[in-house]
């Protein structure tokens, strides 16, 4: 029995939902890959709908991870706050350096340094906590990051600093 396009889409949606349900449970990426591969193999062999065979992705993930816990909410909140502070410091420092002025009587390099001092450890923490989910059959990443993903993280801060700098220079020119 060959799977049709609807079956492939259904399996892709189930795969994505199952991975999304397992990731917050602190399950190793290799184990998540094995679970997804087992589900895909079963569905390919039997032709069953994955939701009928295993239940909803959330329920199946809960059954598999009864001994695992999600991280406390404050981990995410802390990292989000630190990332915001780091981004603000880097933006302030960058703008201060570009304009050649101090901000709150502190040089721009100091703001940049503080932003990096806060942002780099937070970024390392996020990187170390991120889980690579690999297909054990092929070694392919089951959750690849889009090629433009890193640009989405960096470009907005740079754009804000450059737009502010241009706006300030235009106002100085006009006055």
Domain positions in the chain = 5-64, 73-130+144-174
User: Is residue 3's pLDDT more than 50?
Assistant: yes
* Nearest partner of 149 among 173, 126, 125, judged by Cα: 126
What pLDDT digit, counting tens, does each position of 7-61 carry?
788 898 999 999 988 888 778 888 899 999 999 999 999 989 999 999 999 999 9
* Nearest partner of 115 among 151, 76, 161, judged by Cα: 161
CB contact at 8 A, 135 and 36: yes
User: Is residue 120's pLDDT more than 80?
Assistant: yes
Q: How confident is the model at residue 4 (pLDDT cuts 50, 70, 90)?
A: low
Determine the Cα–Cα distance for residues 77 and 114; give it in Å rounded to an integer. Answer: 20
Please report the pLDDT score of residue 1 as a whole number. 47
* Nearest partner of 143 among 36, 10, 6, 39, judged by Cα: 36
Please report the pLDDT score of residue 67 as a whole number. 57
pTM as predicted: 0.56
CB contact at 8 A, 22 and 65: yes
């Amino acid at each position: 029995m060959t799977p049709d396009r609807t079956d492939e889409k259904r399996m892709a949606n189930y795969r994505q939902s199952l991975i999304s349900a397992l990731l917050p449970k602190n399950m190793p990426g290799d184990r998540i890959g094995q679970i997804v591969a087992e589900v895909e193999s079963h569905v390919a062999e039997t032709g069953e709908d994955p939701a009928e065979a295993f239940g909803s992705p959330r329920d199946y993930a809960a059954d598999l991870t009864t001994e695992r816990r999600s991280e406390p909410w404050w981990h995410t909140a802390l990292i989000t706050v630190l990332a915001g502070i780091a981004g603000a410091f880097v933006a302030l420092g960058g703008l201060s350096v570009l304009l050649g002025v101090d901000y709150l009587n502190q040089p721009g390099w100091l703001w940049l340094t503080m932003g990096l001092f806060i942002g780099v450890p937070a970024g390392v923490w996020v990187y170390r906590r991120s889980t690579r989910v690999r297909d054990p059959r092929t070694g392919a990443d089951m959750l690849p990051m889009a090629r433009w993903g890193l640009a989405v993280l960096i470009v907005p801060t740079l754009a804000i600093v450059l737009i502010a700098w241009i706006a300030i220079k235009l106002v100085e020119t006009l006055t």
